[in-house]
Amino acid sequence: MLLPERPTTPALLDRFGRLHDYLRVSVTDRCNFRCVYCLPEDGTTWLPRDGVLHYEEIVRVVRVLAPMGLRRVRLTGGEPTIRRDIEALVAGIAAVPGITDLTMTTNAHRFATQAAALKTAGLRRVNISIDSLDPARFAAITRGGDLHAVLAGIDAAVDAGLLPVKLNMVVMGGQNDDEVVSMARWALERAPAVQLRFIEYMPFDQRLHAGVPAAELRRRLEEAFGALVPVRERQGGGPATHWQLDPLVVGFIAPITEHFCASCNRLRLLADGHLRTCLAHEDTPSLRDVLRAGTSDDELGTLLRKIVRGKPAGHQAELDGGTAFEGVMTQIGG
């Protein structure tokens, strides 16, 4: 049953009764990789410096959302570690009352030299993208990434205590899906300090790659390792379903074949200030323009509740049809 259009509570409830306590913040649209599933090979136009939200503006949005129930913040990009003085943003968000979990998703190419400082600033955990354990294939998927630098970043994250370090593998049929079992075997040797999550490929603008259903990935793992045991306890605030492969926790994020729209608790603040309520819809106003127009915190809070109230029920993307997601992944932050 739909709730009334007019918000009757300060909580971040949408019309479908979903409570939003999780904000993903894309701090930049730029990246030092050009992964094949995320960015075109060339031709991308980056936002100008003044078109990107300032750190003070991001912290202000978090500060206004926290009394409405925001508890978890994840910093994404682009690649968040390439933005100057990213530790200052981490410290600013960590200081907001009510924020209990501050995490980051990174490609870890530079993380070996940053992990300790980010932990000191207030970062709790980190997710690291790693789509292949073969250096040549990794370089091809990322269009130039150095696998050894990423592995050093993973080690640095573990040493800094950003635990558990969650490793994200976007699985593409015919490109890296043959590494699913070997990736799990590699992660098993590093568990429980690391967890492994397999992510279904999400089509943006064009369907350039083949997706592999999460159910098929679980079948392959069970064929190699035996039965996976479902983890009943909720693991963090994200969309993954988790399974135990002792001592490794394996997660599956399946936005296409196993929709989790009905329980979505996430908002996405893009680098240009747009607040997306759904990964598949970009029809929201720019908070950057509102913030720079001199709006008060009360006015900002009213606008934020209105935006959340307008969140759609879900997306219409399917594995072999439906509507592709709008935009370019690096601008959205996943």
Strand, coil or helix: 321: strand
The conformation of residue 330, written as its DSSP 8-state character, comes to H
- What lies within 8 Å, CB to CB, of 140 at 6+ separation is 36
Cα dist from 207 to 139, 314, 317, whole Å: 21, 20, 11
Q: Can you give the three-state secondary structure of 14-65, one letter per residue?
A: CCCCCECCEEEEECCCCCCCCCCCCCCCCCCCCCCHHHCCCHHHHHHHHHHH
Using CB atoms within 10 Å of the CB of residue 38, give its burial: 0 to 12 exposed, 13 to 18 middle, 19+ buried: buried
Residue 209 is predicted with a pLDDT of 77
All structural domains of the chain, each given as residue ranges with its CATH number in brackets, are 22-332 (3.20.20.70)
Alpha-carbon gap, residue 196 to 187, rounded angstroms: 7
The pLDDT assigned to 41 comes to: 77
Written as tens digits, the pLDDT of the chain (334 aa) is: 454 444 445 678 988 899 999 999 999 999 999 998 888 777 678 899 999 999 999 999 999 999 999 999 999 999 999 999 999 999 999 999 999 999 999 999 999 999 999 999 999 999 999 999 999 999 999 999 999 999 999 999 999 999 999 999 999 999 999 999 999 999 999 999 999 999 998 775 555 677 899 999 999 999 999 999 999 776 666 678 999 999 999 999 987 776 667 778 889 999 999 999 887 666 677 899 999 999 999 999 999 999 999 888 875 554 455 554 445 554 555 5
Residue with tokens 């976007």: 170
Q: Which residues pair with 165 in a beta bridge?
A: 194
Nearest CA-CA partner of 213 in 270, 271, 171: 171
pLDDT at 4: 46
C-beta of residue 274 within 8 angstroms of C-beta of residue 285: yes
The pLDDT score that the predictor gives to residue 325 is 47
Distance CA 224, CA 210 (A): 23
Full-model pTM: 0.89
Predicted local confidence at residue 237, as pLDDT = 60
